[in-house]
Amino acid sequence: MIKLDYKNDKPLHEQITQGIKELIICGAMAKDEQLPSVRDLSVSLTVNPNTVQRAYKTLETEGFIYSVRGRGNYVSDIPSADRKTIDTLYDEFSERVRELIFFGEDREKILLVLNKIFDEMEDAK
Amino acid sequence: MIKLDYKNDKPLHEQITQGIKELIICGAMAKDEQLPSVRDLSVSLTVNPNTVQRAYKTLETEGFIYSVRGRGNYVSDIPSADRKTIDTLYDEFSERVRELIFFGEDREKILLVLNKIFDEMEDAK
Amino acid sequence: MIKLDYKNDKPLHEQITQGIKELIICGAMAKDEQLPSVRDLSVSLTVNPNTVQRAYKTLETEGFIYSVRGRGNYVSDIPSADRKTIDTLYDEFSERVRELIFFGEDREKILLVLNKIFDEMEDAK
Amino acid sequence: MIKLDYKNDKPLHEQITQGIKELIICGAMAKDEQLPSVRDLSVSLTVNPNTVQRAYKTLETEGFIYSVRGRGNYVSDIPSADRKTIDTLYDEFSERVRELIFFGEDREKILLVLNKIFDEMEDAK
DNA sequence: GTGGTCTAGACCACG
DNA sequence: GTGGTCTAGACCACC
């Protein structure tokens, strides 16, 4: 499910973190669903277990998953983010919008993309 | 004009690149306007000249500025981006939107922010 | 009476140990009162009997309960702690106070919380 | 300055994290003061660099220090904690107080210790 | 079997 | 020289 790009300068553990984050956000993984074990995922991604472990740790501190010793890792049921995280997201969002406009993308097209995402997220619920 | 944050984990050359990019996008720097020399900017930012040089190089390959041997660096007059750049921007844009929705931000609020940006960009023209 | 949090990184046996410890300290369980059997408690908590057994063992070595072969486990009647335990408690107490002050909590607020605890403990007697 | 206890079941990286945290809180390390490099500290503690690295990472995410690539790690100047952290501290604080009272420590003695800490923290400022 | 910790040693990006 | 990433392999605690 997750594709790693070794050419990308972004660290592997971040790519894994982001990949799982997307799966959770898009609703592909349900609340309290169990994630693959650290070992299994490391094998299927041909990556060192420590790298996966680190990704899971990050996801845990960010509140996306929770970890049970000797059991496994599970999708968190209460998505919560602090003010700072939300603000950062809005900043990054605004940055992308400004660049898109700068490169000539028009209002209608951007709104179209935005509405499409809203509809997808609605359906996922 | 550009503020460097040493505490930020983002490399200095990237912060400089982004800072100049924003100035150009927001219209603070006009087409064909000359940028400060590598040496001057490195002094005013108190960073190594190599760091500024690297930022300028990145901006040139990304098409934001052009360089004239022995003269200096100037703001590009034709803002053009290839399909790949635009697609990447849309992907990153979509990613942020999905996360905002996931964390409970509602449609109206996001649209409000979006429209605010459109208006600002209109005024800058 | 005891709530287990699987999402907590603290081991289950420690959570059980602490839960019972609190019941004893708060006076909810009287001296020489009998604790539920290992088997019963393991059923009502839906955990492995070994886990409860381990918690009881810890409580016994720490002096909170005593065990009678073939009869059951009972709340200790003489709450006594060696110098080392008391010192450790004071150290941990001080540590928390320093952190609270460091993060800006003021004298009055901390004293308020402290006095509230004193009053609660007085009432429980 | 930091003492590691290999017999303690607490992980080394946590012991290091806590040790540095105490130095910062007690005022032994001033704001923006540079911490020893990852390598240096790992040598002086006879520990693997990764272990120190992890401690520093934790301190950074908790807001106690900030890291500058290619430069070093520095004590953060703005101590800030979210509501959750503060609440947890109060809970742990209360827990210790209750146990102290349970083991027969009287009100006056605890207040004495508390006031002593306040005075020390005042002086450190 | 699961997550978590630690070591040893290599390599890269940054300034 | 500094922080950061990654691998390989070992060991422990938990359930």
Q: What is the DSSP letter of A72?
A: E
What are B8-66's pLDDT values in tens digits?
Answer: 889 999 999 999 999 998 888 988 999 999 999 999 999 999 999 999 999 998 889 99
What are D48-70's pLDDT values in tens digits?
Answer: 999 999 999 999 988 899 999 88
Distance of CA D116 to the CA centre of its chain: 19
Residues of B in contact with A117 (CB under 8 A): 94, 97-98, 101
Does the beta carbon of C111 lie under 8 angstroms from any beta carbon of chain D?
yes
User: What global pTM score does this model have?
Assistant: 0.86
Confidence of residue A47 (pLDDT cuts 50, 70, 90): very high
Residues of D in contact with B9 (CB under 8 A): 67, 69
pLDDT computed for residue C62 by the predictor: 84
Does the beta carbon of B106 lie under 8 angstroms from any beta carbon of chain A?
no
Q: Cα–Cα distance between B80 and A87 in angstroms, integer? A: 30
| CA-based nearest residue to D55, from D109, D17, D20 | D17
Residue nearest to nucleotide E12 (CA to C1'): A9
Does residue C25 register a pLDDT over 90? Answer: no
- Decide: D52 and D38 in contact? Cβ < 8 Å: yes
Residue nearest to nucleotide F1 (CA to C1'): D70
End-to-end CA distance of chain A: 21
Confidence of residue A53 (pLDDT cuts 50, 70, 90): very high
Average pLDDT over residues D17-45: 93
* Residues 6+ positions from D46 with CB-CB distance below 8 Å: none
Shortest distance between the Cα of A107 and any Cα of chain B, in A, equals 8
Task: Please name the chains neighbouring A, where neighbouring means 3+ C-beta pairs under 8 angstroms.
Answer: B, C
- The dihedral region occupied by D2, where left means phi > 0, alpha psi between -120 and 50, and beta the remainder, is beta
Q: Do C9 and A71 touch (CB under 8 A)?
A: no
* Residues 6+ positions from B106 with CB-CB distance below 8 Å: none
Beta bridge partners of C68: C72
Percent residues over pLDDT 90 in chain C: 61
Q: What is the DSSP letter of C9?
A: S
Nucleotide nearest to B51 (CA to C1'): E15
Nucleotide nearest to A46 (CA to C1'): F7
The one-letter code for the residue type at D69 is: R
Confidence of residue C79 (pLDDT cuts 50, 70, 90): low
User: How big is the A-B interface in CB pairs under 8 Å?
Assistant: 86
Strands B72-75 and A72-75: unpaired
- Higher confidence at residue B43 or residue B125? B43
Does residue A125 register a pLDDT over 70? Answer: no
What are C89-113's pLDDT values in tens digits?
Answer: 999 999 999 999 988 898 999 999 9
- Tokens for B31, please give them: 């087409």
